[in-house]
Amino acid sequence: MAIELTYCVVNTEQRQLLRYCLDSIARERAAVPFETEVLVLDNASRDGSAGAARVHGATTEVIALEQRRGKGENDTTLLRRARGRYALLLNEDSELEPGATIALHGALDARPEAAVAGATLVNHGGEQQPSAWRFPGPLAALLTALWLHRRLVVQSRGARVREVDWVQSAALLVRRDAADAIGHFDPAFFVYSDEVDFCKRLRDAGWDVLYVPDARAVSHERPLEDGAQRIVELSRNRDRYMHKHHTPGAARAVRWLTAWTYSMRALAALVLPGHEARRYARHAGATLFPDRGEGLAEGAAEYNRGGRRL
């Protein structure tokens, strides 16, 4: 029987979270009425993740890299290796809730003009997190600066499947022939903005992007404030996206508006409890000067040379 759907998991040094992810995939595979397979790409982990994936009952194949690579490049490798008509991209820290696969598959199957469908993401406490947005640009940056982003920029709301601009790739079902047609993910985006660029190119090619509220996944992603490298990488790739898809003037406008927003948050954090002014200030500085500092790409290069762990 032909494989209908391939679960594609990228793991980077998160063995226990990978097990949770694979456990959720095993439950989903038992409940769906079509053939599936599970590919795990281990991103040069040193914590035994590849071995844990190999012995897990849900796993079909493990791709164990010897050198750490970026997320866009790794997702492309999985999309090319997958045999399913659809590929469900997952981070190792994503845990599918029951019925997520069926909801995503049903949404794409009902909309042949749609290329991808993104899930609702919740934290470990069950609180919904933003997972679909308007494309970045001067208007979105201005609305965010005016504190209107929750109503007018975030699009992951409502109880019905809806068209959106872009969805997060933590739990993203992809129509493989659409991904093939646009050349998959751009490897220039090491991590962050890779899925934004992917959805933008799909939309430019005439495909729709869907948000599916009934498909839920728990995201155990570490918060961005965990490290300066993440902040640098986020800012760098936001700027890369803007220069790729917009004019230099628009890119400058987004840079300044976003930096202003973070600066205002830094000032507010000085008097509001539970907020860290230094973190917002780091975001503001990295946004204004995205070419400065060491990001996750440089950290991975050092890791590959045998340096510090990420």
pLDDT tens for 289-305 read: 999 999 999 988 999 98
| pLDDT above 90 for 274 | no
At residue 103, the 3 state secondary structure works out as helix
Which pLDDT band holds residue 275 (cuts at 50, 70, 90)? confident
**43-81 pLDDT, tens per residue?**
999 999 999 999 999 999 999 999 999 999 999 999 999
Predicted pLDDT at 1: 81
As a whole number of Å, the end-to-end CA separation of the chain is 41
Whole-number mean pLDDT of the chain?
94
**252-262 pLDDT, tens per residue?**
999 999 999 99
| pLDDT above 60 for 310 | no
At residue 213, the 3 state secondary structure works out as strand
Whose CA is closest to 230, among 281, 304, 283, 296? 296
Give, for 215, the enclosing helix (H) or strand (E). Answer: strand 208-219
Angle among Cα 160, 166, 172 to the nearest 5 degrees reads: 75
What are the start and end residues of each CATH 3.90.550.10 domain in the chain? Answer: 5-219
Residue 89, strand partner residues: 8, 172
Predicted pLDDT at 220: 85
Query: Mean pLDDT over residues 273-287, rounded?
Result: 89
Give the span between the Cα atoms of 235 and 65, in whole angstroms.
Answer: 27
| pLDDT above 90 for 222 | no
Q: What is the CATH number of domain 5-219?
A: 3.90.550.10
Which pLDDT band holds residue 226 (cuts at 50, 70, 90)? low
Q: Which residues contact 123 (CB under 8 A, 6 or more apart)?
A: 129, 218, 219
Structure tokens that stand for 279 in this block: 């973190």
Predicted pLDDT at 271: 84
What global pTM score does this model have?
0.94
Give the span between the Cα atoms of 86 and 7, in whole angstroms.
Answer: 9
Which pLDDT band holds residue 224 (cuts at 50, 70, 90)? very low
Predicted pLDDT at 124: 85
Q: Are 39 and 63 in contact (CB under 8 A)?
A: yes
Q: Are 99 and 214 in contact (CB under 8 A)?
A: yes
**82-113 pLDDT, tens per residue?**
999 999 999 999 999 999 999 999 999 999 99
| Number of residues that make up the chain | 310
